[in-house]
Structures are given as C-alpha cells and as structure tokens.
C-alpha cells in the first residue's frame, strides 16, 4: 500500500517545521519547557491534518508557527514582537501566507517581510529585553 513511503516525507516535514518554530522561540527567548510542549501539541495535531492531506506537507511550518503564536497569546502575550516598529504599541508579527509554502513573519503595519519562519534570530539579532 505504500504507507511507509508516505510517512517518511510527512514526518520529515513535521520535523523540519518543529525545528523552525523552535528556532524562532529560542530567538525570542521564550523556549521554555511548557512552551516547547505547545509546539509538540501543535505538531501532533498537524500530523493528523497532514496525514489527511499529504499535499499540505509544505504548509505545516506556517501552520505550526500560527498555532504556537495563538497558544502563546493566551499564556504569555504577543509573540513574536515586531522588531521593525520601535514606536507605538508593541504588536506581533503575522505569518504569511497563512496556508502556503515558504512562510514568513510579516509586519502588517508597515507591510514588510521580517524573516522566514525559522530565521527570526538572524533578523532581530536576538531580542534583548533591557
Ligand atoms: Zn511592525
């Protein structure tokens, strides 16, 4: 039935997505144990989702980033904070496309791509909180 061949690339996509989102959490210095478990929860949900729709494998990084963003909003507040807008109310970056390959963090306020999902650390140079 080719089931094993299907599981391989899907697991790879999930693993890569997990690594990208974790890298951004580390960059924002919010990669604590309970936050990592939010990522694991999302990966588990998206595993089910992508098994139903294998063509969506390239979308999971953006979806997991948005899941974690939503989950963090309840517990910690906005993440990731926009590093571009230094004045006014702090606001979070959005993932674009919401459902598509090659997701990026975007500041909707000034309409710029800040970084690819997984590359937030290099865009912000590490967010210092002082
Ligand atoms: Zn902004």
Quote the DSSP letter at residue 100: S
**Is-contact 115 83, C-beta < 8 A?**
no
For the stretch 18-76, pLDDT in tens is 999 999 999 988 878 889 999 999 999 999 999 999 999 999 999 999 999 999 998 88
For strand 104-107 and strand 112-116, is the pairing parallel, antiparallel, or unpaired?
A: antiparallel
CA of 43 to the centre of ligand 1 (A): 27
Confidence of residue 128 (pLDDT cuts 50, 70, 90): very low
**CB within 5 A of ion ligand 1: which residues?**
82, 84-85, 107, 109
Give 11 Cα–ligand 1 centroid separation in angstroms: 33
* pLDDT category of residue 5 using cuts at 50, 70 and 90: low
Has this prediction a pTM greater than 0.85? yes
Query: How many angstroms separate the alpha carbon of residue 51 from the centre of ligand 1?
Result: 35
């Amino acid at each position: 039935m080719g089931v094993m061949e299907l599981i391989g690339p899907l697991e790879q996509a999930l693993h890569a997505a997990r690594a990208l989102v974790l890298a951004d959490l580390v960059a924002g210095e919010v990669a604590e144990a309970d936050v990592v478990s939010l990522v694991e929860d999302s990966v588990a949900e998206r595993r089910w989702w992508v098994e139903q729709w294998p063509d969506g494998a390239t979308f999971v990084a953006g979806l997991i980033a948005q899941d974690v963003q939503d989950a963090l909003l309840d517990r910690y507040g906005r993440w990731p904070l926009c590093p571009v807008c230094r004045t006014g109310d702090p606001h979070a970056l959005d993932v674009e496309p919401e459902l598509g390959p090659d997701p990026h963090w975007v500041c909707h306020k000034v309409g710029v791509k800040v970084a690819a999902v997984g590359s937030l650390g290099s865009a912000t140079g590490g967010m210092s909180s002082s």
